[in-house]
Chain A
Amino acid sequence: MKKAFTILAIIASVLAIIFAVLPISNLTVLPAISALIFGAIAFYLSKKMGEVKKIIQFSFILTSLALAISTYKAFFTKTEVANTEVLDAKETQFEEEAIDELEGLDIDTTENTDATIGQ
């Protein structure tokens, strides 16, 4: 039982670290809470048996580190778009090409609305 919770705590804390360094860092809290719960149970069981393994403490350190990284990212990482130059150029190019194509079409902008409805 103690071993199972220790393994679960380690897995959850590693997951927390992975989440923390990825753009999904605000999801870190989910594995982090799991790691803390599993770690606490493993720690309690270990203490009851009189032998607390270092690996449990290690999982706590990993979890704390993951939470620290995700908290930092939550406050200091800006959510913004960048590198849109290619897209901007494409928008202009497409509009120019579209105008050329539209010139060749028979367009009647005075038409009445078409329709497509089903009730």
Chain B
Amino acid sequence: MMRTSFLFIFSILIITSVTAQNNAISKAEKLTYTASYNMSGILTDIAQVSMETNEVKTSKSTLLRLKCTAVTYSKWDNFFKIRDLYESYVNPNTLTPYLYNRDVNEGSYFKNMKYTFSNNTVKSVMKKKKDYVENNTLTIHSGTKDIVSTLYYMRLLDFKKMSVGSQKSFTILFDNEEIKGMFTYLGKETIGTAIGKKECYKLAIGTSEKNVLQGKNNNLLWLTADENKIIVYGKFKIPVGTGELKIKSASGLKN
């Protein structure tokens, strides 16, 4: 299940470079999604996924906090309760991460992972139940980000300049390992969502980690083809069926 939730979060991300400036993400944005399991066309709602931003001020700087939470619907809580929190404190313009925190509570499983970024070095602290603490210092490649900032960073990309079929690669740091991934731009598509009919950029995501995302073009994301580029729909291949992420509401958008 942990892998499944990772799959969900991981599946909705991407990255590239470009000298992007943040003209897509506001400092008080809230996106809410429903994560569902689709078996033979029958959807079962499992959890609510929220993506929120807020401004964080220190004495020297102002940062953007990117926060993602996954909470199972109450009907599931007695069977398998998920209360996951992923957050990243980033540069508000470039989304370069400084601090990342992942707190996973899934059933009886607990894990907390904290990364402190400093150039190409990351100080990692992992905590598990029974006071288990593991400290590591990792060397990462330039541009490697955490999963949350990567997820938001894709919204800074200029899809207008991309041709159909073009691919971009990205690297994320997850569980103290750098994972390489790639997305393919599949063109524009108009889909119906809870926030209206939207013209979207359609992307296929893949990764070098075979256990995470399976198949070619089986893991898809739809981002609105406007200045906000918010994720409105995601479809992911999972064992026995597919997982879906559908937007429920969006507020505080920048444009």
Q: Which A residues contact B (CB, under 8 angstroms)? A: 22-24, 26-27, 29-30, 77, 79-84, 86-87, 90-91, 94-95, 98-99, 101-103, 105-109, 111-119
Contact = CB atoms under 8 A, between A and B. Distances in A.
16 contacts: A22-B79, A23-B44, A27-B44, A29-B42, A79-B75, A81-B73, A98-B56, A103-B58, A107-B60, A107-B91, A108-B61, A116-B143, A116-B171, A117-B17, A117-B18, A119-B169
B15 A113 contact: no
Nearest to B143: A116
A113 B94 contact: yes
Query: Can you list the 9 inter-chain pairs with the closest CB atoms, starting with the nearest?
Result: A116-B143, A115-B17, A117-B17, A118-B169, A82-B74, A117-B16, A113-B94, A23-B75, A81-B71
A80 B248 CA distance: 12
Contact of A113 (B19, B44, B45): B19
B234 interface: no
A107 B58 contact: yes
Given A81-B71, A103-B59, A117 B98 contact: no
Contacts of A29: 42
Interface residues of B, number: 61
A101 B45 CA distance: 37
Contact of B71 (A87, A105, A114): A87
Interface residues of B, dominant DSSP:
strand
Contacts of B83: 84, 86-87
Contact of B144 (A80, A86, A103, A116): A116
Contact of A114 (B44, B57, B96): B96
A26, A95, A99, A102 interface centre (most CB from chain B within 10 Å):
A102
A117 B44 contact: no
Interface in B120-155: 141-145
A26 B46 CA distance: 12
Contacts of B202: none
Given A98-B99, A117-B168, 10 more contacts: A26-B42, A30-B42, A84-B83, A102-B98, A105-B118, A109-B91, A113-B19, A114-B17, A115-B18, A119-B166
A80 B75 CA distance: 8
Contact of A99 (B44, B58, B72, B143): B58
Nearest to A102: B58
B193 interface: no
A109 B170 contact: no
B218 interface: no
Contacts of A113: 17-21, 93-94, 96
Contacts of B143: 114-117
